Chain A
Amino acid sequence: MARFQRSSSDTEPEFTTASLPDIVFMLLIFFMVSTVLREQNIQVRTQLPQAEALTKIDQKRLISKIHIGPLKQGKNKGNTAIQIEDALIENRKTIRNIMYNKLQEQPKLIASLKVDKESEMEIINEVQQELREAGALRINYSSNRENPPQR
C-alpha cells in the first residue's frame, strides 16, 4: 500500500504542453504554404472571356473542367488543343466516352468549359456536340467578372 501511495503523490503526472503550440503552428504553416489548390498542369493557354451575367458554382465536386486553347509549348505550339484533366485529347471523338464515364459517377455533372477567348466557335461546337452525345448537358462557359473590382 505504502508503495502505491508514494508513487502517486510525489510526482505530478503532467506532460508538458509547451511544445504543443509549436506543433500546431507547424501544421498551420504547412497548410498555409502547401495549399496550392491542386492546379493542374494545364498545357493550353486559357485566357477567359469577361462577362456580367455570371453564376457561381458552389459545389466544386460537380465540376469537370475542359480546357480549350492554344498549346503553350511543344512542337505544335499555338495549335488549338483540348485538355481534360491532365491529358490532351488527341481524338475528339473520345470526349463523349470520357464525359459519359464521368456522368455515370456524378449524374449532376457540370462541364466547365474553360475556353481561350481567341478560340473559334468551330471547336466549341464540336465539343458541345460531343457533350450532347454523352448526355452531359449542363455546361458552364467559364468567364471572369467584367472590370475586376479595385482593391
Chain B
Amino acid sequence: MAGLLEQRREDREGGEIPTAGMADIAFLLLIFFLVTTTINVDTGIGMTLPPKLQDQQPPPVKDRNMFKILVNAQGELLVEEEQANINQLRDRVKKHVTNYGNEPDLSESPSDAVISIKTDAQTPYDTYIKVLDEVWMAYREIWDQIARTGQTPRGESVGLGKTYSSYREYYNSLEPSDDNVIRDAFGAQISIAEPDTGD
C-alpha cells in the first residue's frame, strides 16, 4: 500500500527550515532586553547636608543676604517675616538671588545669597518638599536662562561655548570630569536650618 503520496514525501527529504540563524535572533533579543532594561532610575531632590558642627560657629551671613522661609506645623509659610503663599515663592527667590545689590533688603550677589528653610517638628514632609522644590525651581529657571543665553542675569558671559535649549540639556552633555560652568557662575546656597534642640 505504498501510495503515491507517501512516496513523494520520501522523495522530499532535506526540506528543512534552517535553524542555525535562530540562535542569532534569540541572542539579539536577549542582548536587547539586557541592555534596555533600565531599572527605574531613582529621581529626587539632591541636597548636601552641612557638616557636623565642631566647636566653631557657622560663618555669619548678613541679614540682607539671608532669605528666610519658615514653615509651620499647618504648612503655612512665613517668608522674610511675613506670611506668604507658596505660589509666590519661586518669583521671590529669583528676585532675591538676582538682585546684585540693587535693593537694600535683598542679596548683594548670587554667591552671597542664602536661602534658609526652617521647619517645625510637625511640618508635613510633603509641604517641606514643595517648598524645597519651589526654591530649586527658581534656580533651575535661572540656569535655564543662562543655558539659553550663555550669560548670567547681569550679562556676564559664563564661557559656555555654545547655547543650549535648557539647563538639563547642558547638564546631560557634561562629561563626569567637566566642570559645570553654569553652577560655578551661579551657585545655589540652600540651607536647611538646624532644628531647635529642646525648648
Residues of A at the B interface (CB closer than 8 Å) are 17-18, 20-21, 24-25, 27-28, 31-32, 35, 37, 49-58, 60, 63, 110, 112-113, 115-122, 124-125, 128-129, 131-133, 135-145
A125: B residues at CB distance < 8 A: 119, 121, 195
Q: How far is the CA of A64 from the CA of B121 in the complex (A)?
A: 25
Q: How far is the CA of A141 from the CA of B195 in the complex (A)?
A: 18
- B12 CB → nearest A CB, Å: 19
B56: A residues at CB distance < 8 A: none
Residues of B at the A interface (CB closer than 8 Å) are 19-20, 22-23, 25-27, 29-30, 33-34, 37, 39-52, 119-126, 128-130, 132-133, 136-137, 139-140, 192, 195
- A40 CB → nearest B CB, Å: 13
- Known contacts A54-B43, A119-B124, A121-B119, then 10 further A-B pairs from the complex at CB < 8 Å, ordered by chain A residue: A52-B140, A53-B137, A55-B43, A112-B44, A117-B125, A118-B126, A120-B122, A132-B51, A140-B45, A141-B129
Of A37, A52, A119, A145, which is within 8 A of B125 by CB?
A: A119
Q: How far is the CA of A125 from the CA of B125 in the complex (A)?
A: 10
Q: How far is the CA of A120 from the CA of B73 in the complex (A)?
A: 9
Q: How far is the CA of A142 from the CA of B34 in the complex (A)?
A: 26
Query: A49, B129: Cβ atoms under 8 Å?
Result: yes
Q: How far is the CA of A63 from the CA of B128 in the complex (A)?
A: 22
Query: B120, A121: Cβ atoms under 8 Å?
Result: yes
| Residue ID in chain A nearest B129 by CB atoms | A49
Query: A139, B48: Cβ atoms under 8 Å?
Result: yes
Query: A143, B45: Cβ atoms under 8 Å?
Result: yes
A58: B residues at CB distance < 8 A: 41
Counting chain A CB atoms within 10 Å of each CB, the highest count among B42, B129, B133 belongs to B42
Q: How far is the CA of A17 from the CA of B39 in the complex (A)?
A: 33
A132: B residues at CB distance < 8 A: 49-52
A138: B residues at CB distance < 8 A: 46, 48-49
Counting chain A CB atoms within 10 Å of each CB, the highest count among B25, B128, B192 belongs to B128
Counting chain B CB atoms within 10 Å of each CB, the highest count among A37, A49, A117, A128 belongs to A49
- B117 CB → nearest A CB, Å: 10
Of A49, A54, A133, which is within 8 A of B126 by CB?
A: A49
Query: B46, A55: Cβ atoms under 8 Å?
Result: yes
Of A21, A52, A120, which is within 8 A of B25 by CB?
A: A21
Known: A57-B44, A141-B45. A24 touches B137 (CB 8 A): no
| Residue ID in chain A nearest B196 by CB atoms | A125
